[in-house]
């Protein structure tokens, strides 16, 4: 007798390929197999109520991703064949790619690891499959970004050692510590931090500037990997919202825990975006929009609507969102000032905005730019014209939580540095804001362990192995840059005197003069 095998419907097939793959363990108790999904206090009563946000089986996933990969690599190939690197608006644009490759791409890799860990830790099969897929997405993002940007590495400086720099360079400890904070939390906090607070609430403020920025500035290679990641990002955003709703619906006791995480990760994410604010207002030769405009559109308007929606679960706007809004006309200026102080020790070139760029800044920031920031840049430009390009040779105090130099100002006074402190076990710790102080005070035992770059330099931990700092004429800055794999004045320092600029003029025949304001 012959039988025709029954073809499964899409829904049944999907169920078989996801939830059908899980089982109750019998050799070991489930609590021993999944030891990390209880200690955070989150109560899940019924994992079956989890709505799979992706509705993708693994075989369909590989097929989709394979198609996207083929298109992406064809375009990267064409970009390289056609010397696409010379079509960018201005060689200063490359510095945004340096920032991206050393500050963001390693976070994609960290996300790959983080989601693999979260997936392993959650006992709900639907959530595990979603985490597993996102984990593979993130690995792909890291790889496609490295592959795309590696082409620029043949022509421009500062792109040669992104992961090494990510783990060491002073300001890259800001993104690094952000992600490691999430990865070293429990699985529910990790997924709330990254999937919800970052990918759902704040992601537009990261990807829009970099991808639209690439498009505006003629970098079609970066635009393409951005597009290729977009459909993944929309899945990630769905996961972010689903996971938070699911946790909130499972038990009323989960609400205050989630609110605390939303507060914490909003502030950490917002502080991390300082780098993006600076990139939008100062580093993109052709601007997309100002940080202030982006904040108004993507946070005040869209974020406001989202939190109105979440009010029925008992979730309110993240704490200190009003401080972030007060800072919207200052954030990028304060950040670029830090980089103009310490650009000699960064893996990017820095510069004073050109006269037409200052005009744009005055128009976009009528209340703050001319009054508070223009004079500083004009002074820097004057120093440069006199051949005395100024950099700061002392090291700044860092915020113990966000690890950014203490250069932010009081919410109600943009002329006064904001300074907070807490004492823990007899030791004083410093913070840039009430937001960062609150986070520390909530888990001091975690944040006292922070690897603060400035402390580490002063303790002698940031010199190449075998360095003897007691020898006559020892130059600590030179040793630190060696440890970072940064060549001073080449990978770092003033753009106008950089080899990237000189090479660009030589290769393209363009004359970039006059540059200094």
Which residues of this chain interact with Fe ion, rule CB under 5 A?
A: 108, 138, 141
Cβ proximity to Zn ion: between 165 and 402 the closer is: 402
Three-state DSSP string of 48-75:
HHCCCCCCCCHHHHHHHHHHHHHHHHHH
Query: 491 is in the binding site of which of Fe ion, Zn ion, none (Cβ under 5 to 8 A by kind)?
Result: none
DSSP character string of 117-132: HHHHH---HHHHHHHH
Q: Which does 281 bind (CB under 5 to 8 A by kind): Zn ion, Fe ion, none?
A: none
473 burial (CB, 10 Å; 0-12 / 13-18 / 19+) is: exposed
> What are the structure tokens assigned to 487, written together?
């060549």
Which residues have C-beta within 8 Å of that of residue 245, sequence separation ≥ 6? 313
Range 250-262 burial, b when 16+ CB lie within 10 A, else e: beeebeebbbbbb
Nearest-approach distance from CB 271 to Zn ion, in angstroms: 6
Longest alpha-carbon distance in the chain: 95
Q: 334 touches which of Zn ion, Fe ion, none (CB within 5 to 8 A by kind)?
A: none
Return the closest-CA partner of residue 277 out of 194, 380, 197, 208: 208
- Say how far apart CA 476 and CA 468 lie, in whole Å: 10
Which lies closer to Zn ion via its Cβ, residue 102 or residue 401? 401
Report the nearest approach of Zn ion to the CB of residue 75 (Å). 39
Q: Residue of minimal CB distance from Fe ion?
A: 141
For residues 403 and 498, which CB has a smaller minimum distance to Zn ion in the complex? 403
Least CB distance to Zn ion at residue 339 (A): 17
Q: Which is nearer to Zn ion, 44 or 402 (CB)?
A: 402
CB 182 within 8 A of CB 262: no
Closer to Zn ion at the Cβ: 96 or 177? Answer: 177
- Binds 436: which of Fe ion, Zn ion, none (CB < 5-8 Å by kind): Zn ion
Binding mask 483-512 for Zn ion (x = CB under 5 A): ------------------------------
Question: In this complex, which beta carbon is closest to Zn ion, that of residue 149 or of residue 406?
Answer: 406
3-state SS assignment for residue 489: coil
Among the listed residues 399, 450, 481, 486, the single contact to Zn ion using CB under 5 A: 399
- Segment contacting Zn ion by CB under 5 A, of 81-89, 133-141, 392-400, 503-511: 392-400
Q: How far is the CB of 436 from Zn ion (least distance, A)?
A: 3
DSSP lists the bridge partners of residue 409 as 417
Burial 34-61, CB ≥16 within 10 A → b, else e:
bebbeebebebeebeebebbbebbeeeb
Which of Fe ion, Zn ion, none does 182 bind, CB closer than 5 to 8 A by kind?
A: none
153 or 401: CB nearest Zn ion: 401
The position carrying tokens 């990641």 is 229
Partner whose footprint covers residue 242, from Fe ion, Zn ion, none (CB < 5 to 8 Å by kind)? none
Residue 402 binds Zn ion, judged by CB under 5 A: yes
**Residue 289 in tokens:** 């929009």
Q: Which is nearer to Fe ion, 138 or 181 (CB)?
A: 138
420 close to 413: Cβ distance less than 8 angstroms: no
- How far apart are the C-alpha atoms of 28 and 401, rounded to whole Å? 39
Footprint of Zn ion on 427-486 (CB under 5 A): 432, 436
What's the closest the beta carbon of residue 229 comes to Fe ion, in angstroms? 6
Least distance from Zn ion to the Cβ atom of residue 416, Å = 16
Query: Considering CB distances under 5 to 8 angstroms, the limit depending on partner class, which of Fe ion, Zn ion, none binds residue 141?
Result: Fe ion
Rounded CA gap, 248 and 259, in Å?
Answer: 10
Interface residues toward Zn ion, by CB under 5 A: 399, 401-402, 432, 436
């Amino acid at each position: 007798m012959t039988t025709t095998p029954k073809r499964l419907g899409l829904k049944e097939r999907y169920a078989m390929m996801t939830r059908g793959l899980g089982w109750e363990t019998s050799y070991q108790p489930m609590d021993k197999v999944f030891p990390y999904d209880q200690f955070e206090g989150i109560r899940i009563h019924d994992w079956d109520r989890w709505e799979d946000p992706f509705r993708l089986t693994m075989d369909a996933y590989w097929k989709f991703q394979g198609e996207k990969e083929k298109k992406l690599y064809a375009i990267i190939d064409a970009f390289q064949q056609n010397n696409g690197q010379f079509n960018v608006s201005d060689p200063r644009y490359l510095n945004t790619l340096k920032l991206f490759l050393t500050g963001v791409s390693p976070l994609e890799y960290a996300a790959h690891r983080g989601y693999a860990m979260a997936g392993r830790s959650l006992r709900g099969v639907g959530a595990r499959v979603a985490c597993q897929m996102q984990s593979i997405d993130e690995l792909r993002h890291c790889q496609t970004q490295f592959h795309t940007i590696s082409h620029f590495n043949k022509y421009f400086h500062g792109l040669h050692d992104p992961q090494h720099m990510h783990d060491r360079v002073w300001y890259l400890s800001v993104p690094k510590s952000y992600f490691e904070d999430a990865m070293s939390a429990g699985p529910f906090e990790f997924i709330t931090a990254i999937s919800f607070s970052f990918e759902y609430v704040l992601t537009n403020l990261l990807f829009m500037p970099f991808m639209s920025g690439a498009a505006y500035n003629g970098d079609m290679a970066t635009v393409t990997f951005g597009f290729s990641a977009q459909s993944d990002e929309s899945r990630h955003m769905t996961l972010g919202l689903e996971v938070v709703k699911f946790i909130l619906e499972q038990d009323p006791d989960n609400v205050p825990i989630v609110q605390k995480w939303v507060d914490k990760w909003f502030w950490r994410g917002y502080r991390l975006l300082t780098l993006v604010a600076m990139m939008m207002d100062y580093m993109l030769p052709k601007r997309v929009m100002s940080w202030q405009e982006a904040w108004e559109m993507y946070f005040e308007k869209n974020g406001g609507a989202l939190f109105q929606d979440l009010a029925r679960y008992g979730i309110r706007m993240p704490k200190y969102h009003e401080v972030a809004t007060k800072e919207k006309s200052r954030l990028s200026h304060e950040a670029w000032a830090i980089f103009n102080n310490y650009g000699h020790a960064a893996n990017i070139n820095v510069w004073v905005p050109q006269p037409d760029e200052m005009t744009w800044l005055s128009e976009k920031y009528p209340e703050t730019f001319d009054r508070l920031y223009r004079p500083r840049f004009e002074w820097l430009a004057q120093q440069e014209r006199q051949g005395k390009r100024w950099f700061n040779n002392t090291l700044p105090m860092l915020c113990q939580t966000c690890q950014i130099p203490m250069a932010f100002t009081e919410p109600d006074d943009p002329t006064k540095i904001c300074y907070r402190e807490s004492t823990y076990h007899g030791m004083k710790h410093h913070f840039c804001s009430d937001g960062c102080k609150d986070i520390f005070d909530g888990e001091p035992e975690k944040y006292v362990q922070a690897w603060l770059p400035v402390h580490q330099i002063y303790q002698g931990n940031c010199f190449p192995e075998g360095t003897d700092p007691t020898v006559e004429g020892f130059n600590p800055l030179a040793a630190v840059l060696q440890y970072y794999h940064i060549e001073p004045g080449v990978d770092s320092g003033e753009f106008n005197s950089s080899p990237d600029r000189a090479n660009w003029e030589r290769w393209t025949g363009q004359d970039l003069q006059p540059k200094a304001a």
